Structure 1
Amino acid sequence: MFSSHDGLCTIGDLAEHAGVSVKTVRFYSDRGLLPESSRSAGGHRRYGPDAVRRLGLIRSLRGLGLSVAEVRRVLDEQDEGGAGDALEDAVAGRLRVLGLELRALRWREAALQLVRDCPPDERSARLRLVGAVAAPPDTAALVRFWRAWLPVRMPARSVRAFLDRAVVQPPDDPRPAQVLAFARLFAFVTRSCDGSEGPCQPSAHGAAGARESAVLYAGLATAYDLAGGALRRGDAPRPGEALDGFVDAYAGTYGSRDTPGFRRRLAGQLAADPRIDRYWELTAEVLGSRGGRPEPTPGAAHDWLLEALDAYLGDHVRGAEAAAATTRSR
C-alpha cells in the first residue's frame, strides 16, 4: 500500500490515505489506539499498512458515539482474537444512552409546543410548571408521595405491588397535553400536606398493622381489577363480586364481618376520608387515549366501587322499608 522501501509510512502519509488530519492520527496514537511500527532516525512516527484499516475502524467506532475507553476495549479484544463481546456491550450501552436522549428530546419538544401554543398571559406560569419537571421525567416524586400515603407498617412486597399499579409511567413520545398533565401531577404530589385541608392519610391506615395493611391492599387490588373490567365494559356501578371483595378487604383490616351494618359504617368512613381524585384524574390524562375508553385507574375503580356500595345501601334500605311495610299491613 505504501511506496517506501520498508513498507511503512509517515504520520502525514497515513493521514492522507485515511482522509483525516495529522492531528487526528496523533491523538489516537498518543492514546495507544493506533500503535506506531517504528520511529525514523529523526524520531518521526512510522506506521505499517494495517494502520489504515485500524484507523478506519477507530473512526467508525467513534462515529457511533463510543468513548475512547470503549474503543480501546473493542480493539484490545480484537487484537486478542476475542468473540466480540466488548463491541456488543458498547453498542448496547450506547443504544441505551441514545434512547434516554431521544426520550428527553421528544419530551422537550412537546413541552416547548405546550409553552408556544398557550395564551401569552399564561405563558410564564406554564413555563414554570413544565420547567419543574426533568426531561425525560422520572417518577421518584410520585413514589415518595405514595410511600407517605400508604400505611407505615405495610410490607415492602405489598408496597411494591401497589406502586406498580399507582405510579404512572410518562409516555416515551408524549403529546403536549400529556406533558401538561404530568407536570400538574408532579406539582400535585410535591405540594405540602400539613393537615390544613384534613388528614393526609385515610383513617383506615391508622389501625392497620403489617398484616392488616397487606390484607387490605391485596383485597383492594383484586376488587379494583374486577371493577376495572366493569368500567371497560361500560357497566353501571352495582353490587356483586367486585363490591364484595372491596368490603371484605376493609372487614379483614378491622377484624369485622361483612354485614349491612358494617357496610353502612364503611360508606360513612370512606366518605369522610381524604380524597386524591385529582391524582387519578391527572394519571388518566397522562395515560391518554386516542379513541375508545381510557384504561381504568385504581382511582376510577375506587369511585366505581363507592357508587356500587351506595347502590347496595339504597337497595338494602328500600328492601328493609318494603319488609317493614309488609309487616305493618298484616
Structure 2
Amino acid sequence: MPPESTWSIGELAEHAGVTVKTVRFYSDRGLLPEAARSTGGHRRYGPEALDRLRLIRSLRNLDLPVPHVGRILDQEDAMEDVIAWQLREIGSQLAALRWREAALQLLQDCAPEERADRLRLIGAVSAPPSTAALARFWRHWLPPRLPAHLVSAIIEQAVPQLPEGPTPAQALAFARLHALVSAPCVGADRGQPAAHRPDKGYRPAVLYDGLGEAYALATPELRAQRPPSRGEALDCFVSAYAHSLGTRDTPAFRHQLSLQLAADPRIDRYWQLTAELSGPSQPTPGAAHDWLCAALDTQIARPAA
C-alpha cells in the first residue's frame, strides 16, 4: 500500500477521536494490525484500521476484556459466546450488589445493640452467598453409603434456592442458616434420627427413596393448608419406614413408629430458617415431615372405626 494512502499513528488517532497512546495500546496487543512501516520505522495504518478501531472502542465501552475483544475480531462466530459470558458476569455482579444492599439495609434498620451481632453474621457470608456450606452439612448429616444419585436428590431438595434480590429479612435468615451449619456443634452432635444408626436395622437408601415420594405427596396438602390427615401421603410415609426395615405396615408398627419419631433428634432450626428464606409458597421437606408425623399421631390417637 503506497504511503500516501496510509495514516500515521497520530493521523489514525485524530480520525478516531482517541489518543495516540490508545492506538499504540491496541496495536501492541495485536488488535490493530499495521498496514506498513515508514522508511523511518514508524507505523502506518490503512483506512480499514479506522473501522476496526471504532469496533474495538465499542466493544471496550461494553466493558469486554481485551482478550475477548480479540476473539470477536478474529472469529466471526465468537460474538454470541462472548455476549453470553458477559451477561452471566453482569448477572453475578448484580446479584452481589443486591445482597450487599440487603445486608446494609439490615444493619441500618436494626437497633444499635443488635448491630454487632448482625454484622458478625453478615460478615461471614460472601456476596452473592454460596450454599456450599449447606450442601456439606447434608453430606455429613446423611447416613453413609447412600447412592450418589440419592444424595444429590436430597441435597437439591434440602438446600434452598437463593433469591437474586433478597429482602433484609432473607439476608438475615441465610446468614443465620450459614452460621448454623458452620458451627462446630453441628458436626459434633449431628442430630441424626434412629433410622441413620446401623444398630436399628434400617436400610437408609430404601428409606430415603420412599421419604422423597412421601414428601412430594404431602407438599400439595401443605400448600392448600389442609390439616394433617390420613391418606396416600401418610401411607407412603409409613411404608417407607416399614420397607426399609423389611416389615409390614400394621397398626402396631404405626404406633411404634409414632413413638420413635417423637423421640428422634430434630433439626427444626434449619427448616425454620429455610422457610424464612424460601417463603411460604415453597414447603420444605422438614415441613412435609412434620405434617406427616402429625398425621400419623392423629391416626394413632383416633384409629379408624
For residues 187 and 62 of structure 2, the distance between their equivalents in structure 1, rounded to whole angstroms, comes to: 54
One of 6, 9, 12 as aligned partner of 1:8: 6
Q: Is the contact made by 1:151 and 1:208 (CA closer than 8 Å) also made in structure 2?
A: no
**Offset, 1:66:** 1.9
- Number of the residue aligned with 1:246: 237
- Number of the residue aligned with 1:81: none
Q: Which runs of 5+ in 2 are unaligned?
A: none
- Number of the residue aligned with 1:53: 51
Q: Is the contact made by 1:284 and 1:294 (CA closer than 8 Å) also made in structure 2?
A: no
Q: Is the contact made by 2:141 and 2:190 (CA closer than 8 Å) also made in structure 1?
A: no
Partner-residue secondary structure (3-state), 1:46: strand
- Number of the residue aligned with 1:207: 198
One of 38, 42, 45 as aligned partner of 1:44: 42
- Number of the residue aligned with 2:288: 301
Deviation sequence 1:213-243 (CA, Å, 0-9, x none)? 2221121111111211111122111122111
Q: Which amino acid aligns with 1:282?
A: L
Q: Is the contact made by 1:133 and 1:183 (CA closer than 8 Å) also made in structure 2?
A: yes
For residues 286 and 155 of structure 1, the distance between their equivalents in structure 2, rounded to whole angstroms, comes to: 29
Q: Which amino acid aligns with 1:178?
A: Q
If you compute each CA radius of gyration, which structure gives the higher value, 1 or 2? 1
1:143 aligns with 2:135: yes
**Offset, 1:163:** 1.1
- Number of the residue aligned with 2:148: 156
Deviation sequence 1:264-311 (CA, Å, 0-9, x none)? 2111111111101111111111112xxxx5321111111111111110
Q: Is the contact made by 2:274 and 2:284 (CA closer than 8 Å) also made in structure 1?
A: yes
For residues 134 and 208 of structure 1, the distance between their equivalents in structure 2, rounded to whole angstroms, comes to: 41
1:29 aligns with 2:43: no
TM-score, normalised with respect to structure 2: 0.94
For residues 271 and 187 of structure 2, the distance between their equivalents in structure 1, rounded to whole angstroms, comes to: 20
Q: Which amino acid aligns with 1:34?
A: L
For residues 220 and 68 of structure 1, the distance between their equivalents in structure 2, rounded to whole angstroms, comes to: 52
- 1:85/1:213 Cα in 2 relative to 1: closer, same or farther (>3 Å)? farther
Q: CA RMSD in A?
A: 2.0
One of 207, 213, 219 as aligned partner of 1:228: 219
One of 168, 172, 181 as aligned partner of 2:164: 172
Deviation sequence 1:165-189 (CA, Å, 0-9, x none)? 1110110111111101111111111
For residues 126 and 57 of structure 1, the distance between their equivalents in structure 2, rounded to whole angstroms, comes to: 48
Q: Which runs of 5+ in 1 are unaligned?
A: 78-83, 320-330
TM-score, normalised with respect to structure 1: 0.87
Deviation sequence 1:198-226 (CA, Å, 0-9, x none)? 653111011399x9322211211111112
Q: Which amino acid aligns with 2:113?
A: D
Partner-residue secondary structure (3-state), 2:44: strand
- 1:147/1:138 Cα in 2 relative to 1: closer, same or farther (>3 Å)? same
Partner-residue secondary structure (3-state), 2:289: helix
| Stretches (4+) displaced over 6 A | none
For residues 3 and 30 of structure 2, the distance between their equivalents in structure 1, rounded to whole angstroms, comes to: 26
One of 251, 259, 276 as aligned partner of 1:260: 251
Deviation sequence 1:9-61 (CA, Å, 0-9, x none)? 11111111111111000001111111111222222211111111010011111
1:287 aligns with 2:287: no
- 1:15/1:208 Cα in 2 relative to 1: closer, same or farther (>3 Å)? farther
- Number of the residue aligned with 1:126: 118
Which stretch shifts more, 218-227 or 106-115? Answer: 218-227
1:76 aligns with 2:68: no
For residues 44 and 3 of structure 2, the distance between their equivalents in structure 1, rounded to whole angstroms, comes to: 12
